[in-house]
Amino acid sequence: MSYITGRRPKLVLFSTRAITPAPGVSQDDFRIYASYRGSRATGFYGILKVVRATDGRLLYPFDGADDIGPFQTSADALGAARRRGDEIVSGDLARPEL
């Protein structure tokens, strides 16, 4: 599993050919992009994107996903985003979403 921090998640276009869903078999099969947004006045919110690298499936964010925050510091928001990413990866390893 790799963490990429400090950058905003970018949209990645994949080939239009059919991709067979392939569940991840280890944490190395996932990419977690964690960052934060906000200020001291509004509070800090975690930003998260989780992608299963084996088939390019976006696991988070999804429609209806709640906000990660608000937190008093950017470090707390970033830590919460990373923990949520770890939870999503663990859940997908246990029960893959195909």
Does residue 86 register a pLDDT over 80?
yes
Q: pLDDT exceeding 90 applies to what percent of the chain?
A: 65
Residue 15: count of CB within 10 angstroms of its CB: 7
Does residue 5 register a pLDDT over 70?
no
What integer pLDDT is reported at residue 46 of this predicted model? 97
What integer pLDDT is reported at residue 11 of this predicted model? 58
Residues 6+ apart with CB under 8 A from 47: 8, 9, 34, 35, 36, 37, 68, 81
Chain segment 56-80, per-residue pLDDT in tens: 999 999 999 999 999 999 999 999 9
